[in-house]
């Protein structure tokens, strides 16, 4: 991979290991920026800063990231470049993409970052977004249903607002949207239910492997639709919906309760337990994506050493160094941690020391 004028890197070239790569450096050295460059080549955007222009190195006019992916069939060269105040350009083997969405999925990638704790501590929308994003990557019908559902929901909510504004009410106009919500919502609910059931054992297995314990981790699908017909729920909530001027029941209100030993982890989990939970969840997502796409995702573990004890970190690194995983990137501020763990591994690993946007390649 090469980067030019990307954040605090002026120009740097990397030859990564196909297995384990570690970025070591002090705070602010540029380790996470490198993770972000790798992320850009998969998702055409930053995981940190949604304003592309702010990722151009200060006082420069453009950035450029290029990566060569060695694949069994043929190599892929992915380019992402941005000139200040111009449109971002992404190329696959020197050919421009018309739509960036066409690129997503070609280089699957999973990242674990400190900001993922929002999945646990944040609102239900964070968890729905996570579940929807994972399912949408392998189920195009699900994504289509989700778009249609959200459209119908928007129309129904507009109608409820109009009724309130004009002080009238027409049940028939509302029911047109109810039919759509029930049609798509019911299917989305079922797919989410099956997804959670399938993810649970994989997730439990990873949690046990990392923690060395037998605590039961839970993912509970909470929904009004579990024991009631959606049609009836919409009928029963009309009074409330009219008063509040939005649709108060449906799959847009579902949540996924994250539990540890039967208790909500959000309230009772320690910081290390929450982090373990997240890593296990992401590794379960990894398995899912790998099985469905047939491609091994790249795995980025940013700052996983923070809040986790030595044993758990060691378990994670050993776990991901296994053949089941592919190319892994790990950041850390302290070399000794990793040296000790890596010394016991058979996997080929490469260590890059990062200092103020510069890199020294230290091959194991
Ligand atoms: N557009 C930019 N141009 C130049 N430098 C930038 C730009 N954006 C961010 N930086 C610099 O990048 C540095 C942060 O890098 P990064 O987040 O990769 O650090 P890190 O090595 O992961 O540190 P930590 O261990 O604290 O997480 C900061 O010094 C910041 O000023």
Ligand 1 atom with the smallest distance to the CA of 48 is 17
State the pLDDT confidence band at 363, using cuts at 50, 70 and 90.
low
Ligand 1: which of 11, 29, 115, 306 to mutate, most ligand atoms within 8 Å of CB? Answer: 29
Average pLDDT over residues 242-267: 95
* 231: its two tokens: 């049609």
State the pLDDT confidence band at 56, using cuts at 50, 70 and 90.
very high
Q: According to the model, what pLDDT value does residue 362 have?
A: 67
What is the whole-number distance in angstroms between the Cα of residue 28 and the centre of ligand 1? Answer: 5
Q: According to the model, what pLDDT value does residue 72 have?
A: 67
Please state, in angstroms and rounded to a whole number, the distance separating the CA atoms of residues 100 and 265.
Answer: 37
Q: Is 294 helix (H, G, I), strand (E, B) or coil?
A: coil
Q: Which residues line ligand 1 (CB under 6 A)?
A: 7-8, 25, 27-33, 54-58, 303, 331, 333
Residue 338 has pLDDT above 90, yes or no: no
Please state, in angstroms and rounded to a whole number, the distance separating the CA atoms of residues 212 and 206.
Answer: 10
Question: Contact, 272 vs 307, CB < 8 A?
Answer: yes
Residue carrying the six token digits 């398995």: 287
Q: Give the predicted TM-score (pTM) of the model.
A: 0.90
Among residues of the chain, what percentage have pLDDT more than 90? Answer: 79
* 336: its two tokens: 């000794």
Average pLDDT over residues 96-111: 91
Please state, in angstroms and rounded to a whole number, the distance separating the CA atoms of residues 77 and 9.
Answer: 21
Residue carrying the six token digits 């919500």: 181
Atom 28 (ligand 1) nearest CA: 28
What is the whole-number distance in angstroms between the Cα of residue 268 and the centre of ligand 1? Answer: 33
Please state, in angstroms and rounded to a whole number, the distance separating the CA atoms of residues 340 and 356.
Answer: 25
State the pLDDT confidence band at 140, using cuts at 50, 70 and 90.
confident
Task: Measure the N-to-C terminal CA separation of the chain; round to a whole number of Å.
Answer: 19
Q: According to the model, what pLDDT value does residue 304 have?
A: 85
Residue 215 DSSP label: P
Average pLDDT over residues 258-270: 93
What is the whole-number distance in angstroms between the Cα of residue 34 and the centre of ligand 1? Answer: 9
Residue 336 has pLDDT above 60, yes or no: yes
Set out the domains of the chain in order of their start, with CATH numbers.
Answer: 2-108+300-363 (3.40.50.300), 124-260 (1.20.1050.90)
What is the whole-number distance in angstroms between the Cα of residue 68 and the centre of ligand 1? Answer: 24
More confident residue, 361 or 65: 65
Residue 84 has pLDDT above 60, yes or no: yes
178-190 burial code (b ≥16 CB/10 A, e <16): bebbbebbbbbbe
Q: According to the model, what pLDDT value does residue 343 have?
A: 83
Atom 5 (ligand 1) nearest CA: 8
Name the average pLDDT for the chain. 93
Tens digit of pLDDT for each residue in 141-191? 999 999 999 999 999 999 999 999 998 899 999 999 999 999 999 999 999
Q: Which phi and psi (to 5°) does residue 333 adopt?
A: -90, -15
ipTM of the complex: 0.98
Start-end of H helices in the chain:
31-43, 118-121, 124-136, 140-166, 171-211, 230-236, 238-244, 265-268, 271-293, 310-320, 335-343
Atom 13 (ligand 1) nearest CA: 28
Question: Residue 7 burial (CB < 10 Å; 0-12/13-18/19+)?
Answer: buried
State the pLDDT confidence band at 341, using cuts at 50, 70 and 90.
confident
Q: Minimal CA–CA distance to 247: which of 143, 159, 123?
A: 159
Average pLDDT over residues 65-75: 89
- As beta bridge partners, residue 12 has 3
Cβ-based neighbours of 291, under 8 Å, separated by 6 or more: none
Residue carrying the six token digits 């050493």: 305
Residue ranges at the known binding site for ATP: 25-32
Ligand 1: which of 28, 334, 337, 359 to mutate, most ligand atoms within 8 Å of CB? Answer: 28
Residue 295 DSSP label: S
Tens digit of pLDDT for each residue in 185-219? 999 999 999 999 999 999 999 999 999 987 889 99
């Amino acid at each position: 991979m090469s980067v030019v004028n990307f954040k605090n890197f002026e120009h740097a070239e990397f030859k990564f290991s196909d297995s384990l790569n570690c970025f070591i450096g002090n705070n602010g050295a540029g380790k996470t920026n490198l993770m972000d460059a790798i992320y850009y080549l998969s998702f055409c955007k930053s995981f940190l800063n949604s304003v592309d222009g702010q990722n151009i190195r200060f006082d420069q006019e453009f950035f450029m990231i290029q990566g060569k992916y060695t694949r069994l069939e043929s190599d892929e060269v992915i380019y992402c470049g941005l000139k200040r105040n111009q449109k971002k350009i992404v190329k696959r083997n020197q050919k421009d993409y018309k739509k960036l969405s066409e690129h997503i999925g070609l280089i699957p990638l999973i990242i674990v970052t400190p900001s993922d704790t929002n999945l646990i501590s944040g609102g239900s929308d964070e968890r729905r977004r996570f579940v929807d994003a994972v399912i949408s990557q392998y189920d195009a019908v699900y994504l289509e249903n989700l778009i249609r559902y959200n459209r119908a929901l928007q129309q129904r909510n507009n109608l409820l607002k109009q009724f309130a504004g004009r002080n009238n009410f027409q049940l028939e106009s509302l029911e047109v949207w109810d039919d759509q919500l029930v049609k798509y919502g019911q299917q989305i609910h079922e797919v989410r239910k099956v997804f959670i059931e399938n993810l649970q054992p994989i997730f439990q297995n990873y949690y046990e492997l990392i923690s060395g314990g037998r605590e039961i981790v839970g993912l509970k699908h909470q929904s009004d639709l579990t024991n009631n017909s959606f049609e009836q729920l919409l009928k029963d909530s009309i009074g409330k919906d009219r008063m509040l001027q939005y649709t108060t029941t449906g799959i847009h209100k579902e949540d996924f309760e994250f539990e540890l030993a039967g208790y909500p982890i959000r309230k009772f989990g320690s910081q290390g337990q929450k982090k373990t939970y997240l890593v296990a969840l992401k590794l379960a997502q990894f398995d899912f994506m790998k099985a469905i796409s047939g491609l091994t995702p790249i795995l980025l573990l940013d700052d996983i050493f923070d809040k986790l004890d030595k044993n758990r970190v060691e378990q994670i690194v050993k776990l991901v160094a296994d053949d089941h995983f592919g190319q892994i990137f790990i950041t850390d501020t302290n070399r000794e941690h990793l040296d000790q763990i890596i010394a016991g591994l058979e996997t080929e690993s490469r260590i890059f020391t990062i200092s103020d946007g510069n890199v020294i390649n230290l091959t194991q």
